[in-house]
Structure 1
Amino acid sequence: MTVAVVPEFDWQGAAGGEADLLGLLHFGMPAAPPTAAPQLRVAAPMLAPALAWQAGWRLDGEPSAGHAGRVHYRCADGLLFGVLTVAEADFAAADPATALQRATTHAYTEVFACADALAHPRLLRVWNYLPRINQVEFGLERYRAFNAGRQLAFSASGRTLTGEVPAACALGSADGELAIAFIATTGRPRAVENPRQLSAYHYPAEYGPRSPTFSRAALLQHGGGTLLFVSGTASIVGHRSVHLGDARAQTVETLANIEAVLTEAGRVGGERFAADSLAYIAYVRHAADYPAVRAEVEARLGPRAAVAYVQADVCRAELLVEIEASGGHPIRGWNP
């Protein structure tokens, strides 16, 4: 019998070999070389620590691998990592006004089909990247069209729209297709909310025809430990964006929200996560704001914290920074 172990987050991606890699995220230029492991190439420039950055998840042993429809996946130890991209153009002929929504529904339908077929039915974490995320097309912001498509897929698959939903983020990409990476599991994740914020799935209708389908964080008991995934987090209190136009103040508020999520995760899961022990990705809308954002992050987490900085648009046009995190795992290859 194989005993599951806590996966490692590898700050150096495929550089340490691919045999035990579950999957990869790649940001920046130059473009990522092909890998046997599933790899999501995100069209977003890096601000630090390098012009290109690739991070991945490693397991103890070689995962099984394959393709299911558009999904390229690897799985082992009760964890499934998959990636797929979908071109909106494939859905534009019938009705251009709903192309993104239908592309999103199709993508998530494939995600669920893959997860169900491989008996890893519960989503733990999802990364979503789409071009022109804040652009209004046919009277609707693209992020809101994406939310509609995502919720429709959750509903059609019989999955819940509230409560035990996965941690997630949705960011803008410079170009390309709708790109999604996900981790699904045979285990039972526990959703975590933030008492400082209204749950995203309860947002009022002013934020779009269908609410976002994600939790503020997700916990999973795995390999004798507890994995934590903190969703993309921004300067939102209740359901309102705050500190408009001030990237420094938005960063402070974002980190306060993450601290609140960590406190709630400790209450839900019984394990306290120290903020400076996590691995972070900070998305900064304007490169000019990067020094201020980094200064506030380091003031609160310390200069040795594992933080990568990516330039990307955030899910609301008025938000200037979004930060995600993961914890409960070793961080390999981080040299501050």
Structure 2
Amino acid sequence: MRASRRAPLSVSYAPTAEAMEHFALRREHILSIVTFNPLPTSEARPEAPRGIAEIPLPLSGPDNCEIWSTDQPVVSADFFDITYRRSPDFIFGSITQAIACPAGQNGDHGPSSLQVRTEEAYRQIFTLLEDIEHHRLLRVWNWIPDINSNTRELEHYRQFNIGRQNAFIAHNRLSDTGSIPAATAVGTRAEALIVHFLAGRCIPVALENPRQVEAYRYPEKYGPRSPTFSRGGWIDLGPQNILFISGTASIVGHSTMHAGDAAAQTRESIHNIAAIVAEANRVARSDVYDLNLLSYRVYFRNKQDLAKIRAELDRLIQPFATTLYLQADICRADLLVEIEATAGLLSRDDGHR
């Protein structure tokens, strides 16, 4: 496994078996190894070491992992249910919350288990960040059990949004919309809510898409509480500028476009990503960001749509970086694909697709 050139924050890719064989977490500059395709929760297996952030989604293609690193020494620690690794400037953490009785009962009163556990997860994250003075959430990934299912007459994604926003309000994190992080939320078949997060001392600039209504201002038709995330985030680290683009789908204004058409939804998603890239270039006062210079994670709902989605992306963009394809349910039942992206993180040792 090749060592990446160190930057304030960087991501490289390696075969998972190779990374585990060399146990890259022994290196003092590794913040996290993000792996895919973990064994089902019902199978007995050893607990993952601190710093292994498991994504319970099937990966289409080679079994690669992401290795997040920094140019500073890193230490491991726990905080209640959170496991994390931190440097003086960054922290990469993971929290898993078991969801009791995921099927629920429609006649039950009070908040659902998913809502309660979501709020608890975010409260723990915010308390940790306040305690160690890494005050800013930079990027969040949420893995939600059966995201489109309904219990207690409310979709799981909407239950999740209530819990998430309750925690933001309780910790006074909505007073400045510029501090709302970029995020992804997709569905899994796991029996627990899993949240991965990157935080740091740097101050991100929240980016919005002029083609879309801000997610945190969605009308009530999308649930009692709006989704709490920005469309993207731009971070100036001096020698390095980083762009995070949230999970992006075929939505214009606040409405789903091209229902049932995976190819058209892929095109619309890329149009939205292009709009965020333009906003990032405006904020950065340069044309440093380009669709072909991004690293992508593509979440697709149905296996039969993957070839169409790949074909559209091959036609629209030619990224020099790795593109990961993961099968997942998307936050709206009529969405077939969601795409997230980053720029400014790729290790120069990487460049394969």
Q: Do the structures match in fold with TM over 0.5? A: yes
Q: How does 1:116-131 map to 2 (within 5 A)?
A: 116-131=130-145
Specify whether residues 29 and 108 from structure 1 end up closer, same or farther in structure 2 by C-alpha distance, changes over 3 A only.
Answer: closer
* Whole-Å separation in 1 of the counterparts to 2:346 and 2:144: 30
Within-5 A mapping of 1:205-284:
205-222=220-237, 224-271=239-286, 272-284=288-300
Aligned to 1:302: 318
What is the one-letter code of the residue matched to 1:53? Answer: N
* Paired AA for residue 11 in structure 1: Y
Report whether the alignment pairs 1:41 with 2:58: no
Secondary structure of 1:302's counterpart equals coil
Shift of 1:314: 0.5
Query: Which stretch shows the higher mean deviation, 289-298 or 55-64?
Result: 55-64
Equivalent runs, 1:79-228 vs 2, <5 Å: 79-89=90-100, 98-160=112-174, 162-222=177-237, 224-228=239-243
Query: Please, what is the CA RMSD of the aligned residues?
Result: 2.3
- The answer as to whether partners of 1:5 and 1:222 remain within 8 angstroms in 2 is no
Partner of 2:260, secondary structure, is coil
**Contact 1:24–1:37 (CA<8 Å) still a contact in 2?**
no
Which of 27-36 and 39-48 deviates more? 27-36
- Are 1:325 and 2:341 an aligned pair? yes
Whole-Å separation in 2 of the counterparts to 1:207 and 1:139: 14
State the shift of 1:187 in Å: 1.2
What is the alpha-carbon distance in structure 2 between the residues aligned to residue 157 and residue 35 of structure 1?
30
| CA distance in 2: counterparts of 1:309 and 1:218, whole angstroms | 22
2:59 is the alignment partner of 1:59? no
- Alignment check: 8 A CA contact 2:320 2:351 kept: no
Per-residue CA deviations over 1:123-154 (Å, capped at 9, x if unaligned) read 01000001100001111000000000000000
Shift of 1:270: 2.4
Deviation at 1:304, TM superposition (A): 4.4
Out of 287, 302, 305, the position equivalent to 1:286 is 302
Deviation at 1:158, TM superposition (A): 1.2
User: Aligned partner of 2:80: which letter?
Assistant: G
Q: Give the structure-2-normalised TM-score.
A: 0.88
CA displacement 1:177-226 (0-9 Å, x = unmatched): 10000011111111000000000001000000000110000111125111
CA distance in 2, matches of 1:302, 1:33: 39
For 1:278 and 1:304, the matched residues in 2 are separated by 8
Structure-2 separation of matches of 1:108 and 1:257: 28
2:182 and 2:230 in contact (8 A); partners too: yes
Secondary structure, aligned partner of 1:9: strand
Moved more, 29-38 or 64-73: 29-38
- Matched to 1:228, the amino acid is L
- Determine the C-alpha separation between the residues in 1 that align with 2:194 and 2:222: 22
CA distance in 2, matches of 1:303, 1:230: 15
Contact 1:279-1:307 within 8 A present in 2 as well: yes
Amino acid at match of 2:87: A
Letter in 2 for 1:320: L
Per-residue CA deviation, residues 260-282 of structure 1 (Å, 9 max, x unaligned), is: 00000111232431111111100
Structure 2, unpaired ranges of 5+? 1-5
Q: How far is the alpha carbon of 1:33 from its aligned partner?
A: 8.0
Q: Are 2:318 and 1:335 equivalent residues in the alignment? A: no
Is the Cα contact below 8 Å between 1:47 and 1:290 reproduced in 2?
A: no
Gaps of 5+ in 1: none
| Range moving further from structure 2, 269-278 or 86-95 | 86-95
Write the letter of the residue equivalent to 1:205.
E
Q: How many residues get paired? A: 331
Q: Is the 8 Å Cα contact of residues 149 and 155 (structure 2) preserved in structure 1?
A: yes
Q: Report if the CA contact (8 A) 2:321-2:350 is conserved.
A: no
Q: Is the 8 A contact 2:259 2:334 kept in 1?
A: yes
Pair 1:316-2:329 in alignment: no
2-structure distance, mates of 1:228, 1:24: 20
Q: How many Å apart are 1:114 and its aligned residue?
A: 1.1
Deviation of 1:39 after TM superposition, in Å, equals 2.1
Q: After alignment, is 312-321 or 157-166 more displaced?
A: 157-166
Identity across matched positions, percent? 38
Q: 2: distance between equivalents of 1:309 and 1:34?
A: 26
AA aligned opposite 1:216: R
Q: Distance in 2 between matches of 1:73 and 1:204?
A: 35
